Amino acid sequence: MTGRGGTAPKLAPYAFVAPAVVLFVLVFALPIAYTVYLSLFRTEVKGLGLGRGSRSEVFVGLDNYVRALTDAELGAGAVRVVAYGAILVPTMLGLALVFALLLDEDRVRARGFSRIAIFLPYAIPVVIASLLWGFLYLPGTSPLNQLLDALSLPGVNLLSPAGIYFAVANIAVWGGVGYNMVVLYTALRSIPRDLYEAARIDGCTPWQVAVRIKIPLLAPALVLTSLFSIIATLQVFVEPTTLAPLTNSLSLTWTPLMKVYQDAFGRGDIYSAAATSVLIAAAMFALSFVLLRVTRSRAFGGER
Amino acid sequence: MRARLGGLPTFVLLVGAAYCLFPVAWVVVAATKSTGELFSTTTLSVGTSLLANLGELGSYRDGVFWRWMANSALYAGLGALLSAALSGVTGYALAKYSFRGRALIFNGLLAGVLVPAVVLAIPQYLLLSKVGLTDTYLSVLVPGVISPYGIYLARVYAAASVPEDVVEAARTDGASELRILTSVALPMMVPGLVTVFLFQFVSIWNNFMLPYIMLGDDGKFPVTLGLYTMLKQGNTTPALYTLVVTGALVSVLPLIALFLTLQRYWRIDLLSGAVKA
Q: A54 or B275: which carries more pLDDT confidence?
A: A54
pLDDT at B2: 46
Above 80 in pLDDT, residue B87? yes
B-contacting residues in A 169-188 (Cβ below 8 Å): 174, 177-179, 182-183, 186-187
pLDDT at B211: 93
Under DSSP, the state recorded for A245 is G
A13/B93 CB distance under 8 A: yes
A10/B99 CB distance under 8 A: yes
Average pLDDT over residues A255-268: 90
Asked whether residue B223 is assigned to any structural domain, the reply reads yes
User: In the predicted model, what is the mean pLDDT of chain B?
Assistant: 85
Chain centroid to Cα A19, Å, comes to: 28
List chain A residues with CB under 8 Å of B123: 31-32, 34-35, 38, 274, 277
A114/B205 CB distance under 8 A: no
Q: Which of A105, A190, A274 sits opposite B272 (nearest CB)?
A: A190
Asked whether residue B42 is assigned to any structural domain, the reply reads no
Q: How crowded is residue A281: how many other Cβ atoms within 10 Å of its Cβ? A: 19
Asked whether residue B249 is assigned to any structural domain, the reply reads yes
Under DSSP, the state recorded for A110 is S
Cα–Cα distance list, A256 to A82, A235, B112, B121 (Å)? 11, 9, 19, 15
Above 70 in pLDDT, residue A50? no
Measured CA to CA, the distance from residue B51 to residue B212 in angstroms comes to 30
Q: B208 or A46: which carries more pLDDT confidence?
A: B208
A-contacting residues in B 150-209 (Cβ below 8 Å): 151, 168, 171-172, 176-178, 181, 202, 205-206, 208-209
pLDDT at A132: 84
Measured CA to CA, the distance from residue A98 to residue A253 in angstroms comes to 35
Single out the residue of A81, A72, A35 nearest to residue A276, CA to CA: A35
User: In the predicted model, what is the mean pLDDT of chain A?
Assistant: 85
Q: Label residue A268 by pLDDT band (50, 70, 90).
A: confident
Average pLDDT over residues B188-195: 91
Q: What is the 3-state secondary structure (H, E, C) of A41-80?
A: EEEEECCCCCCCCCEEEEECCCHHHHHHHCCHHHHHHHHH
pLDDT at A303: 40
Q: What digits encode the pLDDT tens for the residues B105-135?
A: 988 888 887 787 778 888 999 999 999 999 9
Question: CB-hemisphere CA count at 13 Å for B193?
Answer: 22
pLDDT at A301: 45
Q: What digits encode the pLDDT tens for the residues A76-115?
A: 999 999 999 999 999 999 999 999 999 988 888 888 889 8
Asked whether residue B77 is assigned to any structural domain, the reply reads yes
pLDDT at B20: 93
Asked whether residue B147 is assigned to any structural domain, the reply reads yes
3-state class percentages of chain B: helix first, strand second, coil last, to nearest 5: 75, 0, 25
Convert A122-150 to b/e letters by CB count within 10 Å (16 or more is b).
Answer: bbbbbbbbbbbbbbbbbeebbeebeeeee
Above 70 in pLDDT, residue A48? no
Average pLDDT over residues B246-270: 81
pLDDT at B170: 92
Backbone angles phi, psi at A43, to 5 degrees: -85, 130
Measured CA to CA, the distance from residue B108 to residue B99 in angstroms comes to 15
H-only helix segments in B62-185: 64-96, 102-114, 117-130, 137-145, 148-161, 164-172, 177-180
Average pLDDT over residues A237-250: 86
Above 80 in pLDDT, residue A16? yes
pLDDT at A21: 95
Q: For the purposes of burial, counting CB atoms within 10 Å of the CB of B253, is it exposed (0-12), middle (13-18) or buried (19 or more)?
A: exposed
**Percent of chain A having pLDDT more than 90?**
34
Above 70 in pLDDT, residue B142? yes
Q: A160 or B265: which carries more pLDDT confidence?
A: A160
Average pLDDT over residues A26-30: 92
Strands A41-45 and A55-59: antiparallel
Torsion of CA A7, A13, A19, A25, to 10 degrees: -110
Q: What digits encode the pLDDT tens for the residues B13-26?
A: 999 999 999 988 88
pLDDT at B7: 82
Q: Please give the residue of chain B at the shortest CA–CA distance from A285.
A: B114
Average pLDDT over residues B16-39: 85
Contact residues for A184 (Cβ-Cβ < 8 A; gap 6+): A96, A97, A100, A218, A221, A222, A225
Q: How crowded is residue B191: how many other Cβ atoms within 10 Å of its Cβ? A: 12
End-to-end CA distance of chain B: 41
Asked whether residue B269 is assigned to any structural domain, the reply reads yes
Torsion of CA A10, A14, A17, A19, to 10 degrees: -150
Single out the residue of A174, A170, A165, A162 nearest to residue A122, CA to CA: A174
Asked whether residue B20 is assigned to any structural domain, the reply reads no
Above 80 in pLDDT, residue A224? yes
Parent domain of B96: 50-276
3-state class percentages of chain A: helix first, strand second, coil last, to nearest 5: 70, 5, 25
pLDDT at B56: 84
Measured CA to CA, the distance from residue B168 to residue A91 in angstroms comes to 48
Q: Which helix (H) or strand (E) holds B2?
A: helix B2-5
Asked whether residue B139 is assigned to any structural domain, the reply reads yes
Chain centroid to Cα A20, Å, comes to: 24
Question: Structural domain tally of chain B?
Answer: 1
pLDDT at A138: 81
Q: Label residue A302 by pLDDT band (50, 70, 90).
A: very low
CA dihedral sign, ordered B116, B121, B122, B123: positive
pLDDT at A54: 67
pLDDT at A172: 95
B-contacting residues in A 234-253 (Cβ below 8 Å): 234-235, 237-238, 242, 245
Above 80 in pLDDT, residue B161? yes
What domains can be seen in chain A, in order of their start residue? 13-61 (no CATH), 68-299 (1.10.3720.10)
Q: B39 or A32: which carries more pLDDT confidence?
A: A32
Average pLDDT over residues B187-191: 91
- Here the CATH number for the domain that contains residue B99 is 1.10.3720.10
Q: Label residue B209 by pLDDT band (50, 70, 90).
A: confident
